[in-house]
Amino acid sequence: MSLTVVGSIAFDALETPFGKRERILGGAATHFSLSASFFSRVNAVGVVGGDFSEAEWDVFRRHSVNTDDIEIVADGKTFFWSGRYDYDMNTAHTLDTQLNVFETFAPKLSESSRNAEYLFLANIQPTLQREVREQCPNAKFVAMDTMNYWITSAKDELLQTIGVVDCMIINDAEARQLTDEPNIHRAARKILDLGPKALVIKRGEYGAILFTKDEFFVVPAYPLESVFDPTGAGDTFAGGFMGYLASHDEITGAVLRRAMIYGSVMASFNVEKFGTERVDELDYPEINERFRDFKRMTHFEDIPFERASSAA
């Protein structure tokens, strides 16, 4: 089975308390693809400019990501984002955004991308997301992200798109904003009422929650004494989550739960270095060791209390 992702491919300029980078590979589809590539075959759909060099293509190649549907606009420039993180590392302060070739991005899916059973619609204009979804009739599990900008500026289109996906993966502030509901559990119920069978709410340093009709599953974030660069953590989570699902023929509750853990595992690696640097160099023993760490930090024995067992 294969997995298609549609979204941004970018150059990022980053400043954090731990250093800076002038121009590194970034973008939602990039972070998603690399993360998912550890678990399944990935088709990336996006657009880049003539400034996209062999060094960047090599990153995709090293992870066997199918880049046939990444359009190259030779006389254009790749989407550029510049941001700064302060000491608390929780909020990105955007310094500059140059959409460049991304401004007129019209995803063109080859037959291979259209035939994928799994599809991730990264954060792009909601109507574009829906048009991509309609191009993939065989997709049996479609997930989407969005952002505050679309909730404010294109809410009707966004609600239509939410109505045609199987899973939404958003952060807690967006879930609250979308539903106008401060309580995260009520917000989740309202989002599931819009159509998706599954909802993942990302909570940054507090981890993530999975909501379905039958499953409620909470995963903490991996304990990190230093977050080096949080850029792309959400897309890396989505990549691990969707990639793991796409390695299975059937999505059961147990598979969804492990997908939440693999998503968290991949996101925890992503923030340890700048951009894609850490995920690019990952191997399976590291991934599985961290998966076991998650088991260790959440496991307890299911022993009910009996008054008689007390010394009282």
In degrees to the nearest 10, what's the CA dihedral of 266, 267, 271, 273? 20
User: How many Å apart are CA 46 and CA 39, to the nearest integer?
Assistant: 21
b or e along 93-113 (b: 16 or more beta carbons within 10 Å of the residue's beta carbon)?
A: eeeeeeebbbeebebebeeeb
Strands 41-49 and 66-73: parallel
Cβ-count burial of 52 within 10 angstroms (0-12 exposed, 13-18 middle, 19+ buried)? buried
> For residue 208, what are its two tokens?
């993530």
**Angle, helices 28-36/233-245, rounded to nearest 10 degrees:** 40
Positions 146 through 205 that interact with its own copies (CB under 8 A): 182-186, 189, 203, 205
Name the minimum Å distance from CB 292 to its own copies.
7
Q: Which of residues 21 and 290 has its CB atom nearest to its own copies in the complex?
A: 290
The only residue of 11, 32, 39, 102 in contact with its own copies, by rule CB under 8 A? 39
Q: Which is nearer to its own copies, 195 or 220 (CB)?
A: 220
Burial 135-167 (b: 16+ CB within 10 A, else e): bbeebebbbbbbbeebbeebeebbebbbeebbb
Q: For its own copies, which is the closer residue by CB, 102 or 118? A: 118
What is the per-residue binding string for its own copies in 266-305, x denoting contact by CB under 8 A? ------------------x--xx--xx--xxxxxxxxxxx
How far apart are CB 297 and its own copies at their closest, in Å?
A: 5
CA distance 80 to 25: 10
| Contact indicator for 228, 18 with CB cutoff of 8 Å | yes
Interface residue with its own copies among 54, 75, 87, 96 (CB under 8 A) is 87
Site string for its own copies, 239-258 (x = CB under 8 A): -----x-xx-x----x--xx
Both tokens assigned to 190: 């309202």
Which one of residues 156, 180, 225, 250 is an interface residue with its own copies (CB under 8 A)?
225
Number of residues that bind its own copies (CB under 8 A): 59
Query: Minimum Å distance from CB 133 to its own copies?
Result: 22
Quote the CA–CA distance of 15 and 310 in Å, as a whole number: 56
Does 1 participate in binding its own copies (rule CB under 8 A)? Answer: yes
In the complex, least distance from residue 280 CB atom to its own copies, rounded to whole angstroms: 17
Residue 62 contacts its own copies per CB under 8 A? no
Residue 220 touching its own copies (CB under 8 A): yes
Neighbouring CB atoms inside 10 A of 54's CB total: 7
User: What character string, x for contact with its own copies (CB under 8 A) and - otherwise, covers 105-144?
Assistant: ----------------------------------------
Contact 194, 164 (CB under 8 A): no
Closest distance to its own copies from the beta carbon of 253 (Å): 10
Among 217, 272, 273, 277, binds its own copies (CB under 8 A): 217
41 contributes a contact to its own copies by CB under 8 A:
yes
Binding residues vs its own copies (CB under 8 A):
1-2, 38-41, 87-88, 182-186, 189, 203, 205-207, 209, 216-218, 220, 223-226, 244, 246-247, 249, 254, 257-258, 260-262, 284, 287-288, 291-292, 295-307, 309-312
